[in-house]
Amino acid sequence: MSKKVLITGGAGFIGHTMAKYFASKGLEVKTFDLFQPPKTVGEHIVGTIMFPDELYKAMKGCDYVVHLAAVLGVARTENQRLKCLNVNTLGTINVLDAAVKAGIKKIVLSSSSEVYGEPAKTPISEDDKTFPKSVYAVSKLAGEEYVKAYHQTHGLDYSIVRFFNVYGPGQVAEFVLPKFIRAAMIGTPPIINGDGKQVRSFCYVDDAVEGVYLALTSKEANGHVFNIGNDRAATSMLDLANKVTASAGKNNLGVEFVKEEHADRKNAREIINRIPDISKARRILGYEPKITLDEGIARTIASGHIPESWTEQA
């Protein structure tokens, strides 16, 4: 009999891709989200993680939970700080309470590389200190600590995954890479905040969801935090913009630089270098990202699916 997994935030960019991947691996998938997506994998339940009873009903009969649901995006989390804290911390507590009540065997929590803040060194390992610079980062770190606490008080098995700049078809154009792609597709220069020297390492969504699957299904992963990203896809924002315009066949567009005071991500929140050390995930999970940055950009452009709003993602 196949195992059943509930994915909170399952109608979103990562969640929808994850549902399809999990189903291909033989898991019975249920998704839970605020809205009804145009396409679903398995049973979909419309609900909010702020209502514990809705969560419990959704989890009944499930073996596993992957908790993705959160308030995210630089502009949204900065403009709605209280909502970000409430949903990402209290919502996570609701998920954990429901998981215990429903007899869930294991939960995988989606966290973020934002918890590290500006690292003292790169690549960043899971043992490095966390220096969150934003309400969003604090909320994700709080969620991690609650998961660990519920393991101690209720015996709930867990793994935590810290995503590093996941991208791909269906990601809303509030994130840097789809924002660049959307600009190129409509023939406008990609807009870069600051000088474009900020470095990120981008992970294609298919690779990211495979990492979550490995963390979910491996007993050796229990009680561990894993960086999930691609350590071979580091690039500056300026180079990224040039890659995107070249891949879109729009080399003549150039780029547009925006000063900090007009940017979504202010200097106080900016992180200059963010590259993951994924040796732990390689060693324990056998995780290995396969999609190069150039290939991932080309796939995302070819999909033509770069939604403007959050509810268009799935």
Q: Which residues are catalytic?
A: 136
C-alpha closest to that of 96 among 47, 145, 36, 27: 145
Token representation of residue 78: 């900065």
Cα 67 to chain center, whole Å? 11
Label residues 234-245 b or e (16+ Cβ within 10 Å = b).
bbbbbebbbbbb
Cis peptide bond upstream of 276, omega within 30: no
Q: Cβ distance 288 to 227 under 8 Å? A: no
Q: Which three-class secondary structure string do you get for 73-104?
A: CHHHHHHCHHHHHHHHHHHHHHHHHHHHHHCC
What is the greatest pairwise CA distance in the chain?
59
